[in-house]
Amino acid sequence: MKVVAVENFADPSFSADLIGWQKVHGRHVLPWQNTRDAYLIWLSEIMLQQTQVSAVLGYYARFLARFPTLRDLAAAPVEDVMAQWSGLGYYTRARNLHKCAQRVVAEYDGVFPSDPLLLAELPGIGRSTAAAIAAFSSGRRAAIMDGNVKRVFARVFGIDTYPGERKTEEAMWRRAEALLPEVGIESYTQGLMDMGATLCTRSSPSCERCPMQPRCVAFATSRTKDLPVRKPKKATPEKHAVMLAIVDNGQVLLEQRPPSGIWGGLLSLPELDGHVAAEDDEVAPADDDALLRAVGKFGEMESCERLSTVTHVFTHYKLHIAPYRVTLAKRLPMAAESGHVWLDAARIADAALPAPIKKLLLELVGDSREAQQRMF
């Protein structure tokens, strides 16, 4: 007869120790804490996906100043939402944020549901984010499982397989459910986040201050550098793109990118051939005839100058941008449906542009009106 091992992940002392530590040493004054307002909590959780607290703080304050309520966000044009998000990265989050706000207004009369299963059905809210929102806004017992939690679990319990592997992740979820406390879910949930962010960090964890040190397998076996097991590395693909900074009379030509894909829904510079796979970081000069054809749709070229290559690293490839500054001798009218717009140089800083494109254009413009006239 085959013997099946039975998992026994329950351990009330784990949650008790974590809650006790969080109440004394955890974070308590972040702008989205000490509230039951689901809108404030939801916004912070979406912004904090794959982004550190230090980077989120400024965006969070500015976003709320522009969209103080869920209904304000739902009623706003998506272009305004993207502009406020510009520079924070992972722009699908911003599009889903807008869609989610509209869904909550339409389906729940502007009030987020407290059931994590219903929350997880909304755009941009997965299982872990739904649990965090439910725990902080209504005290619901639900397990989170973000990167910080995976790291804490892998070290404390000595999990020596890659957390992104399906079998390992499913076991981690079962452990997370079994460890939930009967009371104090808010402090417990925040404690997991705080431990991963401030003590059990990816590099140089502060084991000497960690409440889990006596039970931590990684500490006992000197494997904190080895756990969690890292995903096997793959070479980062290289891609090239030729972009046109077409300027005329104090304005720059921008095009609306498709709603999905890289920089989806943002304004950006026109490109010759998209993002093309390459072997290295050396971008070949653009073909003169191709440049003339591309620019010819918008006007008569007066001059063209190749600028320094700009490199931007996405999660799945590295993009080397070869920008060309093109000045026009004569501008042609554009059809309304062309997907292009002329933007005043003074509005670049507030436009919904990808971070590397905004940086490039701001460097072109400079800080002074004289520089604008000179460069544009």
Q: What residues does each domain of the chain span? A: 11-221, 238-365
What is the Cα–Cα distance from 89 to 48, expressed in whole angstroms?
11
pLDDT at 376: 54
pLDDT at 337: 66
What is the Cα–Cα distance from 214 to 152, expressed in whole angstroms?
14
pLDDT at 371: 41
pLDDT-flagged residues of the chain (< 70): 1-6, 335-337, 367-376
CA angle at 312 for the pair 87 and 244, rounded to the nearest 5°: 90
pLDDT at 2: 42
Fold of the CATH domain 238-365 = Nucleoside Triphosphate Pyrophosphohydrolase (3.90.79)
- Confirm whether 11-221 and 238-365 share one CATH topology: no
Contact 283, 309 (CB under 8 A): yes
Flag whether the pTM goes above 0.75.
no
Burial 188-222 (b: 16+ CB within 10 A, else e): bbbbbbbbbbbbbeeeebeeeebbbbeebbbbeee
Marked catalytic residue, from 7, 45, 165, 169: 45
Q: Which CATH superfamily is domain 11-221 in?
A: Hypothetical protein; domain 2 (1.10.340.30)
pLDDT at 336: 63
β pairing state of 318-331 and 238-248: parallel
Let me know how long the chain is. Answer: 376
Based on the residue annotation, tell me whether 363 is a catalytic residue of this protein: no
